[in-house]
Amino acid sequence: MSILIYAESVEGKFKKVAFELASYAKKVAESLGTTVTAVTINAGDVSELSKYGVDKVLKITNDKLSGFSAKAYSDVIKQAAQKEAAKLVILSSTTDSVYLAPLVAVSLEAGFASNVVGLPLSTSPFQVRRSAFSNKAFNITEISSEVKIIGLAKNSYGIFENASTLSQEDFNPTIGDNDFEIKVESVEKGSGKVSIADADIVVSGGRGLKGPENWGMIEELAEVLGAATACSKPVSDLDWRPHSEHVGQTGKPVAANLYIAVGISGAIQHIAGINSSKVKVVINTDPEAPFFKVADYGIVGDAFEVVPKLIDKLKIFKAQN
């Protein structure tokens, strides 16, 4: 019996969450006295997974799976779990895996716990801590089914090297035409240098920037910090920025180590979508802006004065360090 993880990749390269899953699974495997198997889909070099504790990779290469299909991918993961007799399947909380997890759970008749934070509190009975109410509370969930599935909250455990000897196996699961009843017509990709999904730092702008012509300072601040750029829903709705940068409860969830909000008042939907971020900084002219109530650090001031000064100070700091 092995613990199975789905190591997500894009254009052949693993996402950061794949290494967090591997790190997490290795620690759980050590407590259970078992190994970690990863299933990959059209990934390139999989050897990097061995740095983080993966013992075996089921490597799938199939052109039919070049575009994400929740039904097809969930069927593949199910077959991998059955092949390895896995009693614990660990997925991430990315957009793709949020679609996958319930389908995999149904197909394996498994109990599923989403938004898991931290290692299991107990393995017999199997209990995990989960975030709830937009990360305002936690609950303890017990999974009693024979096969268990957990969705690890992004950036909740961390990435830790724990080298193992890796074996690779080409895996050819059965894929039927009924797995592709839903077809992808188009894909909108973000244009930023750093994707929101993998970013440790996110710099986000709102209507306080007054127009798309002022976005240069957001991009410059992001470049200095090595961060991804993002925006609030109104900014996306006004077509100042692409929808791929819209973060919040109705956009992309963000769980960055540092989230900087510039000119964003802090609607409840936005706060809910970024509340998992570890450190939140807000820059706003309105001292009564709701964002200040949840921010770790706040600057009351004009973004057009504050941000350029912040950029200058960061450039000096980087030059000296």
Determine the Cα–Cα distance for residues 293 and 207; give it in Å rounded to an integer: 19
One DSSP character per residue, 68-128 reads --HHHHHHHHHHHHHHHT-SEEEE--SHHHHHHHHHHHHHHT-EEEEEE-SS-SEETTEEE
Q: What number of other Cβ atoms are within 10 A of residue 17's Cβ?
A: 25
Determine the Cα–Cα distance for residues 140 and 49; give it in Å rounded to an integer: 30
| Lowest-confidence segment of 26-35, 151-160, 175-184, 298-307 by average pLDDT | 175-184
Closest CA to 229 of 220, 237, 266: 220
Tokens 């609030």 label which residue? 232
Q: Say if CB 99 and CB 92 are below 8 A apart.
A: no
State residue 308's pLDDT score. 96
Chain-centre distance for alpha carbon 28: 20
State residue 191's pLDDT score. 58
List Cβ neighbours of 163 (8 Å cut-off, separation of 6 or more). Answer: 50, 51, 53
For helices 303-320 and 216-225, the axis angle rounded to 10 degrees is 30
State residue 279's pLDDT score. 95
Query: What integer is the mean pLDDT of 88-117?
Result: 94
Q: What is the pLDDT of residues 48-80, one digit of tens each?
A: 999 999 999 999 999 999 888 899 999 999 999
List Cβ neighbours of 12 (8 Å cut-off, separation of 6 or more). Answer: 42, 43, 44
Q: Specify which of 129-138, 144-153, 184-193 reaches the highest per-range mean pLDDT.
A: 144-153
Is the bond into 234 cis (omega within 30 degrees of 0)? no
Q: What is the pLDDT of residues 191-218, one digit of tens each?
A: 556 778 778 899 999 999 999 999 999 9
Q: Say if CB 36 and CB 19 are below 8 A apart.
A: no
pLDDT averaged over every residue in the chain: 92
State residue 188's pLDDT score. 67
Q: How confident is the model at residue 105 (pLDDT cuts 50, 70, 90)?
A: very high
Of 145 and 186, more confident: 145
State residue 183's pLDDT score. 75
Of 67 and 148, more confident: 148
